[in-house]
Homo-oligomer: A and B are copies of this chain.
Amino acid sequence: MSASSDGSPSYARTPRTTPTRYKDRATWEQEAIHAVLDEAYICHLGFVADGAPVVLPTIYARVGSRLYIHGSTGSRPLRAATAEQGLPVCVTVTLVDALVLTKSAFNHSVNFRSVVAHGTAHQVTDPAELDVALAALVDHAVPGRSGEVRPANAKELAATAVIRLELDEVSAKTRADDAGDDPEDQDLPHWSGLIPVTTVHGAPVPYDEAVPLPAHLRRYPR
């Protein structure tokens, strides 16, 4: 952990979190990184199995400078993370904000915010930490949810596995450019502009009509 040039807390830069291109899109500031991690709730978990890359989507939650990533006992990454040496992983989270359509094919792009975290993941084995991690996983997409459900019983806990990744070697990248077309393209007759992209959470659809919608779900649709 270190401080950036303006004094706000930042994660330390390393060679693999320092881009070779579009350097101005990268940041190591905690606030920017945590904001992306807290808005999204699906990550893509990368690991190496038999020498080859594997990328799987799963849910995660952030608690301070830790990521908790959901798995199940028996899944490949989880078995590897139980070993003492842990599992080298890359966890990537991506939010898409707009399609960028320019007058030239070449300048077409996507406005996005992403976080890439490198490190070694370990399975959470301490019962108290597992409680915190599971509550965080349930609350991440739907704040307040974990207090309004039946907690896991012993059999369910035994079938659940969570891995922990300390945020340490991590950066965010943002492309939020709306600068438009290159000067030499501006007089071309083609349409150019942005198509905004948003993720919409609809009105809750109940399984059990007899239960009224609780307060923690009244934020939907959003």
Contact = CB atoms under 8 A, between A and B. Distances in A.
A59 to B, nearest CB: 6
B202 A200 contact: no
Best-buried of A16, A150, A185, A205 by chain B (most CB within 10 Å) = A150
A96 B42 contact: yes
Interface stretch (A3-11, A24-32, A85-93): A85-93
Contact of A142 (B46, B99, B203): B99
Contact of A195 (B52, B53, B181, B204): B204
Contacts of A176: none
B105 A146 contact: yes
Contacts of A56: 92, 116
A179 to B, nearest CB: 9
A143 interface: no
A198 B195 contact: no
B42 A44 contact: no
Contacts of A59: 110
Contacts of A220: 195
A178 B202 CA distance: 16
B189 A145 contact: no
Given A42-B96, A57-B92, A202-B197, A185 B150 contact: yes
Contacts of A196: 201-203, 205
Best-buried of A92, A96, A148, A201 by chain B (most CB within 10 Å) = A92
A178 B53 CA distance: 32
Interface of A: 16, 20-21, 42, 44-49, 51-57, 59, 72, 74-76, 88-92, 94, 96, 99, 101-106, 108, 110, 112, 114, 116, 118, 134, 137-138, 141-142, 145-146, 148-153, 156, 159-160, 178, 180-181, 185-186, 188-208, 211-214, 217, 220
